[in-house]
Structure 1
């Protein structure tokens, strides 16, 4: 399958966490954390459509101002996802600057913040340039069983609350299923190509009943007089393959509840970015600092059945030992190495 996601771990496996994800045929990108964004050009930063921040420790949040400075003067509505209290933190960050000249800037910049928490309702807040970034309450978002938060075109962002001594979010980015029309089947049945195929795909995606009638026409102008076929008769014209999945898990203690939430979020991911700060023999240090070991990271990846593992957030206490940490993750995951299959 042609890769749909093109992720970049901006600062390698040892630098500040920041993951930039581009998706095929999608103009916007998704940014997970922003500890150091210096590797991104202004052009790439301006494409960010969702900013997903795991938590507000400095190494995950310090370089937000680089993004902010580029956005001032541009018409932009940026979706931001963070843990409980994140809208307040963002407001304080924005209020560190003086905005008395904001009325001279015609373009509106707005941040729409969703806070993912264990509660049944997730609060949403808007912070807009022209209102001096004063908070405006938006309608709350009902918590979903699978943690779905936002959509970006065909992409869906899910989140789960993990415990790092402070709430910390894990994320999964999922693509809608791929629907491909078999032209050879169309030709064999004497059916035309045309805009009717979009309706057929939509009906299949929505899992409509077999007796749903689908109009068949080659041009939009023919839609009203089009003949119809039962959906059951047309299903074989379309093949459905799963969309791709990417998970981002960082900064949480190796405890049963955290493992369960992390495994659920990363289940069957094509690529899992997972922190592995400490070697296996330093498990006591890892637990004290509420981080994972290489062994825990590998075991989580194995239990989730992920295809490719990308460990990161290696501790600076192991200079020059990246190969060792990678090897420990691979062994715990039941693999000879972490090269993609």
Structure 2
């Protein structure tokens, strides 16, 4: 696995997912509730905070992150639903920033608000300006929900209904290009930096006639003559779905976002027998979570956000999710 996700507070605590990827210095936070399980060195790696919605259990931990970042040279991307920049503004303005001229390190948060429509609003907050809100050019909405790239990782988002807009997320790694060492040896070609150009051309879908420089002093060869040296495999994909009502519209959006996910983190707050209560609270049941995972074709299911009312029945909720998904319980 290249993606290494971790639920921050188990299956019953504040929702939150920490994601790091091999060879990538910056980490991702999906939701920002209780962050006490993350060490300062981990929080200082955060380059993207994507918040599903502003209920307290998804958002209360931001101040701990902020406190660690003051005095650091950082630009952090923030993604949230409509109106989220205003919420961040008021959070930041709860503090006094009259001494920021003594802090040379540039700290900035850049917020993208995901909402229906042709464009997504963007806003920047800089420490040097006392975190005043500065509108940025809006970002054209993309049909597949792609919001941004963080290194080799792509973030997609979709709007769900929780009585308030709540975002679901997918984090996807770029495809892998693996080099066949045996095929290099058979053609008398060495490993080395020149392979980066070959990999980049393959990932970019360059035409077969694209010249690829060789390290041996020989003339460049066309990409088509070198394709057999590499194999392309899909990158890893995970999805994160929390705080959504069990409606047909929500299911359709959730399934599309989680399609073929290698790992699906999905809320399952209420037992199947408590469907009426789940509907009133606009959450999923274990059965709904399992059915969404099944219909999305997720390879691995990680249910979470279990209600405290089932404190001694976590195994029951877990079993109901996997039964609805038509899967055996994992060992």
| Aligned twin of 1:100 | 98
- CA RMSD in angstroms comes to 1.1
Q: CA deviation at 1:278?
A: 0.5
SS in 1 for 2:36: coil
| Aligned twin of 1:64 | 62
| Aligned twin of 1:11 | 9
SS in 2 for 1:299: helix
| Aligned twin of 1:319 | 311
| Aligned twin of 1:134 | 132
Q: CA deviation at 1:196?
A: 2.5
Aligned residue among 73, 77, 98 for 2:71: 73
Task: Trace 1:227-266 onto structure 2 (pairs within 5 A).
Answer: 227-266=219-258
Q: CA deviation at 1:265?
A: 0.8
Q: Aligned partners of 1:304 and 1:10: how far apart in 2?
A: 24
Moved over 3 A (4+): none
SS in 2 for 1:25: coil
Task: Trace 1:134-283 onto structure 2 (pairs within 5 A).
Answer: 134-218=132-216, 226-283=218-275
SS in 2 for 1:274: strand
Q: Aligned partners of 2:152 and 2:90: how far apart in 1?
A: 33
User: Is 1:290 the counterpart of 2:282 in the alignment?
Assistant: yes
Q: Aligned partners of 1:211 and 1:47: how far apart in 2?
A: 41
SS in 2 for 1:286: helix
Q: CA deviation at 1:120?
A: 0.9
Contact persistence 1:217–1:227 (CA under 8 A): no
Q: CA deviation at 1:101?
A: 1.2
Consecutive unaligned residues of structure 2, counting only runs of 5 or more, are none
Q: CA deviation at 1:8?
A: 1.3
Q: Aligned partners of 2:36 and 2:208: how far apart in 1?
A: 53
Contact persistence 1:74–1:109 (CA under 8 A): yes
Change in 2 beyond 3 A, CA 1:253/1:338: farther
| Aligned twin of 2:39 | 41
Q: Aligned partners of 1:99 and 1:202: how far apart in 2?
A: 45
- 1:277-322 per-residue CA deviation (whole Å, 9 max, x = no partner) reads 0000111111111100000000000111111111000011112000
Q: CA deviation at 1:177?
A: 0.7
Contact persistence 1:247–1:265 (CA under 8 A): yes
Q: CA deviation at 1:185?
A: 0.6
TM-score by length of 2: 0.97
Q: Aligned partners of 1:127 and 1:198: how far apart in 2?
A: 37
Q: Which moved more, 1:228-237 or 1:116-125?
A: 228-237
Q: CA deviation at 1:212?
A: 2.2
SS in 1 for 2:308: coil
Q: Aligned partners of 1:101 and 1:196: how far apart in 2?
A: 50
Q: CA deviation at 1:191?
A: 2.5
Q: CA deviation at 1:192?
A: 3.2
Q: Aligned partners of 1:196 and 1:335: how far apart in 2?
A: 45
